[in-house]
Amino acid sequence: PGVPSTFETFIEKVIEEYAEFTPEYAEKESGVKVDMIVEVARKIGEAGERFATHNWRAAASGNLGGWCVSRALHFLNIVTGSVGSKGGTSPNSWSKFKPQFHSVPPGQKFWNELHFPKEYPLAYFEMSFLLPHMLKEGRGKMDTYFTRVFNPVWTYPDGFTWMEALKEESLFGMHIALTPTWNETAFFADLVLPMGHSAERHDLNSYATHSGKWIAFRQPVLREAARRAGKTVEFTYETNPGEVWEEDEFWIELSWRIDPDGSLGVRKHFMSPYREGEKINIDEYYQYIFERTPNLPEAAKKEGLTELQYMRRYGAFEVAPHNYKMNDKVVSEEKLAGADFDPETNVYSKNGKNVAVKVNGEARVGFPTPSMKNEFFSQTMVDWKWPEYAIPSYIKSHIHPEKLDKEKGEYVLVPTFRLPTLIHSRSGNAKWLMEISNRNPIWMHPDDAARWGFQTGDIVKMNTDIGYFVDKVWVTQGMKPGVVACSHHLGRWRREQDKGNRWATNTVRIENDGDGKWTMNTKSGVKPFQSDDNDSKRIFWVDGGVHQNITHAVHPDPISGMHCWHQRVRIEKPSPGDKYGDIMVDTNRSMENYREWLAMTRPAPGPNGLRRPLWFKRPLKPQEDLYYLRD
């Protein structure tokens, strides 16, 4: 107030606000040398509109307050003018094609507190990794639960708490695992329904690979081969090995059976748009989408094909060659008809929804924020009780050096880095990939190894907030001193009674003392086995790695809700009797830790009694009145 509202004033005030964040301060916090920080900053300035920055998990998912990293990077795009520019950084949705479906059901008539609990009103996605903890403290019951290509027992932190909950019928009623391969969560399901891999099902693909927009059509190979051979196929499982269903057909058939007479209002959303009163089939499902894909009908017509035939033949279609500066698109008079204009905010709204923002005298598309602009100052943060973070800020991580006691052997464990030869937890069935990479030792700098007297191959005990795991050391210059790392993907297991995948899994013994203390010990590693695949007899590796995630406590960021993956660990020499692969977790301590992090939140309600901001995107959005907490 009291100063000119100019860009020059803004820059002046920003410099004042961020005065403490000097290159020297950044060096102290990050360990990166001042000269390097200044050099990178200069190069960003020189790049200008051609500055591209991207953050995929990394620091944003590893740390308390990690969401500030993404926000700070976007601020750099703002000040360099590189949002949506050639050579710059575009919002992810600009380059992804969104299909139009034949039927869109209305919003849900209930709010699921187990998806979006009131403690995390600013969490953009469901708080799924806290589900067993919320169930165990009496917040509800999952009557029917589908884990779809989802393996929380292994992938999520605190897997033993998941096991406790999944085994308890008062918490989970019917648990159905939809999965293309056996996994640790499927062992605890009531039903396991095999799903098709990419070559066994239909699907659409559209990724932000460049500034353009495209759509691709995945097809089940054997079904398409049968069709070209003139055979009639009703369901994909008729041609897939093992009668494996494809998901689209499964949901159509299940919904049809759930509502046999249409009285539940479900069946009508699975009716054919071409044959009145008939059930939609898979060809019609995709034909409808392709008919409404911009420019595709014209391209198909030129070749004398239907849209579905065109996509079957070519598999992909370019919807738009580029998508620069989408926010600058002028909104038509037709779309503005009946809209109200607020001269204070320059925003046009219709039926309570923002439709355009006035910039340089014209109504433009803008951005999907309350102001329809990129917001340096976020009124949302103020309204939802976090005013100290109204502008791009810095939050010290839960594993900041100040919070580690080096004298007690505390280190930062990076558990999220990926090996280039494996794909998350989805490569266990890929024999050639498992042959290349099949163990996950603790990466340790030579200085730290010397301090402890470790050599490559020695076993080390890694104590976490809720337990420990015993792994092997790999001494390497590839790690920073004071930081250790253990790669993702590995440490897959099965119990003696389980027949799951054997290319990657150790056979383990799991025991529970009945009072929250769980142990897992490796009985045998990977070994050759007899099967229809002769390669199974040629397995030469025996080490399947160690399951580290199961020993991690949940760390839900109090604002974003993101699990903060990096772990504070205490390294120690193994005790007598400790063996490679040993694991222990105390789930009572797990629940204490969950409550400690829960206490850091500032729960809803927000303005006007809201559960969460109305402007946040969400698939399958509930009806708007459910967004308000009632007395």
pLDDT digit string, tens, across residues 606-631? 999 999 999 998 878 899 999 999 87
Q: Compute φ and ψ for 19, nearest 5 degrees.
A: -55, -35
- Rounded Cα distance, 256 and 249, in Å: 11
Q: How buried is 71 (Cβ within 10 angstroms: 0-12 exposed, 13-18 middle, 19+ buried)? A: middle
* Euclidean distance between CA atoms 261 and 31, whole angstroms: 66
* 583-586 and 567-572 beta bridge pairing: unpaired
- As a residue count, the chain comes to 631
**What would the two tokens of residue 591 be?**
């629940």
Helix, strand, coil abundance in the chain, percent, nearest 5: 30, 20, 50
pLDDT of residue 570: 98
Query: What is the model's pLDDT at position 319?
Result: 97
Return the ∠ at Cα 81 (arms to 79 and 82), rounded to 5°: 115
Question: CA-to-CA distance for 579 and 60, rounded, in angstroms?
Answer: 34
C-alpha 331/C-alpha 473 separation (Å) is 60
CA distance 61 to 620: 25
Q: Residue 443: what pLDDT?
A: 98
Q: What single DSSP character describes residue 459?
A: E
pTM to 2 decimal places:
0.95
Helix, coil or strand: residue 407: helix
Angle of CA points 593, 596, 602, to nearest 5°: 140
CA gap 398, 1 in Å, rounded: 36
- For 302, the token pair is 């030129």
What pLDDT, on the 0 to 100 scale, is given for residue 136?
Answer: 98
What's the Rg (C-alpha) of the chain? 27
Would you state the pLDDT for residue 54?
85
Class of domain 401-598: mainly beta
The pLDDT of residue 56 = 81
pLDDT of residue 346: 96
pLDDT digits (tens, 9 = 90+) for 277-331: 999 999 999 999 999 999 999 999 999 999 999 999 999 999 999 999 999 999 9
Q: Which of 489, 508, 486 is nearest to 569 (CA)?
A: 486
- Cα–Cα dist 492/185, whole Å: 11
Q: Extract the tokens encoding 344.
A: 């204070």
Phi, psi of 174 (to 5 degrees): -95, 125
- Residue 386 makes CB contacts below 8 A (sequence gap 6+) with 122, 559, 602
Which stretches of the chain drop beneath a pLDDT of 50? none
What distance in Å separates the CA atoms of residue 254 and residue 176, rounded to the nearest whole number? 13
Rounded CA-CA distance 49/79 in Å is 9
Under 8 Å CB-to-CB from 248, ≥6 apart: which residues?
201, 202, 203, 282, 285
Share of the chain above pLDDT 70, in %: 100
Residues paired with 356 in a beta bridge: 348
Residues 549, 155 contacting (CB under 8 angstroms): yes
Q: What is the spatial distance between Cα 397 and Cα 68, in angstroms, rounded to a whole number?
A: 11
In 3D, which of 239, 230, 143 has the Cα closest to residue 249? 239
Coil, helix or strand at residue 378: coil
* 3 state DSSP class of 411: strand
For residue 602 the two structure tokens come to 């500032």
Distance of alpha carbon 88 from alpha carbon 49, whole angstroms: 6
Calpha distance 549→488 (Å, rounded): 9
Q: How far apart are CA 548 and CA 468, in angstroms?
A: 8
Burial group, residue 361, by CB count within 10 angstroms (0-12, 13-18, 19+)? exposed
* Greatest Cα-to-Cα distance within the chain, rounded to the nearest angstrom: 81
In the prediction, which pLDDT does 92 show? 81
Q: What is the pLDDT of residue 426?
A: 79
